[in-house]
Structure 1
Amino acid sequence: MRNAASEQLDQMSALEIVTLMNEEDQKVAQAVKKVLPEIAQAVDLIADALESGGRLFYFGAGTSGRLGVLDAAECPPTFGTDPAQVQGIIAGGKAAMTVAVEGAEDSLTMGQEDVRASGVQAGDVVVGIAASGRTPYVIGALAEAKARQAVTVSLSCNPGADIDQGADVCIHLVVGPEVVTGSTRLKAGTATKMALNMLTTASMVRVGKVYGNLMVNVQATNRKLRERAKQIVMEVTDVSYEVAEQVIAEADGDVKLAIVMLKTGLPKAEAAQRLQRAGNKVRPAIEAGGE
């Protein structure tokens, strides 16, 4: 559909264009708000799967696929997940991240083949992303995932989307016509990114990757993250920088373990056992007392 407010877009000044875009972007958060129950339902399914050893897969084409790959790629550094636990698959493969692969999104068979190649199985969750709601690649991916008894979630920007068929949860981010007609990298892309952020972030909170609002499962793979790890331990346990650094080193870089050691006064081995018994969740491990 064409957006009536932008029909004279090519005659507008730069300020008028960006003002209009900003006004249209205000509608995105409201569109997401309307489907929070569906997003929460998907989060529950994803969290349950992850806690049981399952995985989360995103399948999409074009902008939708790129956003899935982006969200998946951010999980290991933020939440310390294994790269295999959350995966983003884009139609056409890695090359499609930067260059459009001709016909990839139109292939239902390619979607099915990518699901098979990824080893999707029962216990996994597959989220099919398609702004239009009718991308053949995503339809094929969701159908194959369903046949393999995986939980399926459809995410689109149109109600009654074709990709909804048989999905366990259907999320419709209805943002309205784009400023540039059909350019789903705009409002549709923003809404999709917001929803994907919610799916992974809320799921990771549910499975214990966060304590309070701190990313205690952060992997200190560079200087910035090493410093963040120390700041997290200092914030939670009220110790000095030097003590945080020392205990993190003793815990072999494991921020969760360092926190449990400091909060309980237990030596490394006992704190590790306490954390393991608590499902690797910091709060229950601290509150377990003498159990």
Structure 2
Amino acid sequence: MSVSPGVSPTEERNPHTVYIDQLPTLDMLRLINAEDRKVAPAVAAVLPEVAAAVELAVAALRSGRRMHYFGAGTSGRMAVLDAAELHPTFGVGYERVVAHIAGGLSALHTAAEGAEDDVELGAAAAADLGPGDVAVGATASGTTPYVAGALRAARAAGASTVLVSANPAAPLADLADVHIAVDTGPEAITGSTRMKAGTAQKLVLNALSTAVMVRLGRTYSNLMTDMVASNSKLRDRQVRMLAQATGLPVPACTAALAEAGGDSKVALVALLAQAPVAEARRALEQTDGVVHAALVELRGR
């Protein structure tokens, strides 16, 4: 389908859903689902760009800098959700990955549509960025002024910039070192970017941040080693992770975790290397917390 000049694909009318309001409920849902199934392949097509963004973020976080998300509306909410989950899942400080949403945190539950048009508000949100940081702007249309202000200010401050959009011809692409353009096409309901474009934003941000955390050594295999065990369910998960990784019985894993002061990564290295907790902790400190590297360090002694 052709796209009108200057109009985001997400604003075009979808020819497949023109009669959606006349369908029985189940057929309507099948139609929406058929559109949703197009999102994952569209994300797959931009994985090289996602990988480039991962490299920027890994370099920033490894050097002690930060990753900042900027977005408005659905895109901003996806960004806040993604950033908020990184601390409990991977033990990353809240100050290391920060999300900014136009209109502030109240915009999470109450629409603040006017805030997304404020370029200066976006620039102010990015005022704390500096060289070595990464700014990730999320906007379905690739035109949001708030995101434009943030990316422009971030670039002026020496930060790397990434744009995540659903518009391959996004006008803001010129402000990004990497443009992740997920071509999700027209929405089932014209312009309702909370649908396919919003799903694409979630998939991209989840993949981006998860890959960054894996590259930083916040997992061992596909197991979470740095999660914050703030309740009994998560403490049980720590023990289960140790048992899955080592093949040892739960009582032995529970004892190792207690000896490590609740630090599951230290306990894991101690169990896998059959080393004292103090040596496991020291090896992790010397290898930036990467389990495989710590094991090599211990076995080479």
- TM bucket normalised to smaller: over 0.9
Aligned to 1:5: 16
Which of 118, 124, 129 aligns to 1:107? It is 118
Rounded Cα–Cα distance in structure 2 between residues aligned with 1:67 and 1:51: 24
Please give the per-residue CA displacement for 1:54-88, whole angstroms capped at 9, x wherever unaligned.
Answer: 11111000000000000001101111111111111
Give 1:212 deviation, angstroms: 0.5
Rounded Cα–Cα distance in structure 1 between residues aligned with 2:59 and 2:262: 27
Rounded Cα–Cα distance in structure 2 between residues aligned with 1:179 and 1:274: 53
Counterpart contact for 2:148–2:172, Cα < 8 Å: yes
Asked if 1:132 corresponds to 2:145, the answer is: no
Give 1:164 deviation, angstroms: 1.1
Give 1:171 deviation, angstroms: 0.7
Aligned to 2:85: 74
Which of 24, 28, 32 aligns to 1:17? It is 28
Rounded Cα–Cα distance in structure 1 between residues aligned with 2:48 and 2:178: 10
Counterpart contact for 2:148–2:175, Cα < 8 Å: no
Counterpart contact for 2:70–2:147, Cα < 8 Å: yes
Which of 55, 64, 84 aligns to 2:95? It is 84
Counterpart contact for 1:139–1:162, Cα < 8 Å: no
Asked if 1:277 corresponds to 2:286, the answer is: yes
Give 1:166 deviation, angstroms: 2.9
* Aligned-pair identity (%): 48
Asked if 1:201 corresponds to 2:210, the answer is: yes
Rounded Cα–Cα distance in structure 1 between residues aligned with 2:74 and 2:162: 18
Give 1:221 deviation, angstroms: 0.8
What one-letter code is carried by the residue in structure 1 that aligns with 2:62?
E
Give 1:160 deviation, angstroms: 2.0
What one-letter code is carried by the residue in structure 2 that aligns with 1:290?
G
Asked if 1:166 corresponds to 2:183, the answer is: no
Which of 257, 276, 300 aligns to 1:290? It is 300
Query: 3-state DSSP class of the match of 1:127?
Result: strand
Rounded Cα–Cα distance in structure 2 between residues aligned with 1:70 and 1:250: 34
What one-letter code is carried by the residue in structure 1 that aligns with 2:19?
Q
Asked if 1:231 corresponds to 2:240, the answer is: yes
Counterpart contact for 2:58–2:215, Cα < 8 Å: yes
Rounded Cα–Cα distance in structure 1 between residues aligned with 2:218 and 2:44: 25
Rounded Cα–Cα distance in structure 2 between residues aligned with 1:133 and 1:69: 18
Which of 56, 61, 65 aligns to 1:45? It is 56
Aligned to 2:6: none
Asked if 1:260 corresponds to 2:263, the answer is: no
Rounded Cα–Cα distance in structure 1 between residues aligned with 2:126 and 2:284: 35
| Length-normalised TM-score, structure 2 | 0.94
Aligned to 2:8: none
Give the RMSD, CA atoms, in angstroms: 0.9
Structure 1 alignment gaps of length 5 or more: none
Rounded Cα–Cα distance in structure 2 between residues aligned with 1:198 and 1:267: 35
Which 4+ runs in 1 deviate beyond 3 A? none
Rounded Cα–Cα distance in structure 2 between residues aligned with 1:64 and 1:262: 42
Counterpart contact for 1:108–1:137, Cα < 8 Å: yes
Rounded Cα–Cα distance in structure 2 between residues aligned with 1:151 and 1:259: 35
Rounded Cα–Cα distance in structure 2 between residues aligned with 1:163 and 1:199: 20
Rounded Cα–Cα distance in structure 1 between residues aligned with 2:174 and 2:117: 17
What one-letter code is carried by the residue in structure 2 that aligns with 1:113?
A
Rounded Cα–Cα distance in structure 1 between residues aligned with 2:40 and 2:279: 46
Rounded Cα–Cα distance in structure 1 between residues aligned with 2:36 and 2:112: 29
Structure 2 alignment gaps of length 5 or more: 1-11
What one-letter code is carried by the residue in structure 1 that aligns with 2:65?
G
Give 1:102 deviation, angstroms: 4.4
Please give the per-residue CA displacement for 1:205-229, whole angstroms capped at 9, x wherever unaligned.
Answer: 0000011010111111111111110
Change (3 A) 1:102 1:187: closer
What one-letter code is carried by the residue in structure 2 that aligns with 1:143?
R
Greater shift, 178-187 or 6-15, is seen at 6-15
* Alignment coverage as a number of residue pairs: 289
Rounded Cα–Cα distance in structure 2 between residues aligned with 1:184 and 1:252: 46
Rounded Cα–Cα distance in structure 1 between residues aligned with 2:92 and 2:259: 22
Rounded Cα–Cα distance in structure 1 between residues aligned with 2:286 and 2:95: 24
Give 1:253 deviation, angstroms: 1.2
Rounded Cα–Cα distance in structure 1 between residues aligned with 2:29 and 2:215: 38
Query: 3-state DSSP class of the match of 2:219?
Result: coil
